[in-house]
């Protein structure tokens, strides 16, 4: 279970504090897949980052009884001056993973080749995303946070991502952000719309999509 209580996010602005998310409440059970809809800038990615622990919460809190990933393809936690391999070693120590097995998996999945030995700050955004995705998948989380991750890389890499996430881990809980309505309908059990800071949840995903398209 993952439950959010009155999650609020504010940012300072020239006219005072701007509230992006206003008291968001919802509960996600094991195996449930929740799609989040909203226009660009509505706060979808901000909510994902807050749940993943990479964005501070202004107020409210989160309770969870299952392990939750960082946002897939999010490379912001990498130490840029270190190589991809050094970052990989650090994550192996934190999560107590076998380094040789993890490196072999990341080598095969991310397909970064010799770039793994180079500083992450020299990577393109796509390369960082591929590394972050590979490291996210090698750790078995109960719930995955997915922010347009299938848009990373070429069509073959998309297929690899889909296989790992939605076939091999079909029994995991997921929170997904996407602008692809067909993908949402095929993948999610329920949906929510973020608009003007408010979080509106729908048990019927078709109703959520119809409402979103009329906003």
In whole angstroms, what is the distance from residue 151 CA to residue 201 CA?
25
Strands, sheet with 68-72, edge to edge from the N-terminal-most edge strand: 68-72, 143-147, 173-177, 33-37, 190-195, 198-202
pLDDT at res. 192: 97
Question: Do 18 and 175 touch, CB atoms closer than 8 A?
Answer: no
Token duo for residue 145: 């946070």
Q: Give domain status of residue 133, yes or no.
A: yes
pLDDT at res. 137: 85
Question: Do 6 and 57 touch, CB atoms closer than 8 A?
Answer: no
Question: What does the pLDDT look like over 126-168, one tens digit per residue?
Answer: 888 888 888 888 889 999 999 875 555 677 888 888 888 899 9
In whole angstroms, what is the distance from residue 79 CA to residue 202 CA?
39
Question: What does the pLDDT look like over 161-197, one tens digit per residue?
Answer: 888 889 999 999 999 998 888 889 999 999 999 999 9
Query: Does the pTM of the predicted model rise above 0.85?
Result: yes
Q: Give domain status of residue 166, yes or no.
A: no
157, containing H or E segment: helix 155-162
Token duo for residue 42: 């509505």
pLDDT at res. 77: 64
pLDDT at res. 86: 94
Which parts of the chain are beta strand (E)? 2-13, 16-28, 33-37, 59-64, 68-72, 143-147, 173-177, 190-195, 198-202
pLDDT at res. 106: 92
How many domains is the chain partitioned into structurally?
A: 1
pLDDT at res. 89: 94
Q: Give domain status of residue 42, yes or no.
A: no
Question: What does the pLDDT look like over 98-123, one tens digit per residue?
Answer: 999 999 999 999 899 999 999 999 99
pLDDT at res. 24: 98
Q: Give domain status of residue 60, yes or no.
A: no
Question: What does the pLDDT look like over 36-85, one tens digit per residue?
Answer: 999 988 999 999 999 999 899 999 999 999 999 988 866 666 788 899 99
Which parts of 29-171 are beta strand (E)? 33-37, 59-64, 68-72, 143-147
Q: Give domain status of residue 82, yes or no.
A: yes
Mean pLDDT of the chain: 90
Q: Give domain status of residue 103, yes or no.
A: yes
| Backbone torsion region of residue 35, taken as left when φ is above 0, otherwise alpha when ψ lies between -120 and 50, otherwise beta | beta
pLDDT at res. 23: 97
Residue-number span of the structural domain to which 127 is assigned:
69-140
Would you tell me the crossing angle of helices 125-138 and 84-95 to the nearest 10 degrees? Answer: 20
Q: Give domain status of residue 205, yes or no.
A: no
């Amino acid at each position: 279970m993952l439950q959010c209580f009155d999650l609020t996010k504010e940012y300072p602005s020239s006219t005072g504090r701007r509230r992006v998310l206003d008291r968001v409440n919802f509960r996600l059970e094991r195996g449930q897949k929740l799609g989040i809809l909203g226009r660009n800038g509505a706060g979808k990615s901000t909510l994902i980052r807050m749940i993943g622990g990479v964005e501070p919460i202004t107020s409210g809190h989160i309770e969870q009884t299952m392990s939750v990933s960082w946002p897939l393809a999010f490379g912001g936690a990498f130490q840029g001056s270190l190589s991809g391999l050094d970052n990989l070693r650090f994550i192996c120590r934190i999560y107590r993973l076998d380094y040789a097995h993890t490196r072999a998996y990341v080598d095969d999945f991310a397909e970064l080749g010799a770039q793994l030995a180079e500083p992450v700050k020299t990577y393109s955004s796509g390369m960082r995303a591929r590394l972050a995705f590979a490291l996210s998948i090698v750790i078995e989380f109960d719930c995955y946070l997915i922010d347009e991750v299938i848009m990373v890389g070429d069509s073959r890499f998309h297929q690899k991502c889909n296989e790992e996430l939605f076939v091999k881990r079909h029994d995991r809980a997921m929170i997904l952000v996407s602008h692809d309505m067909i993908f949402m309908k095929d993948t999610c059990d329920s949906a929510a719309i973020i608009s003007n800071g408010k979080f509106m949840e729908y048990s019927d995903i078709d109703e959520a999509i119809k409402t979103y398209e009329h906003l």
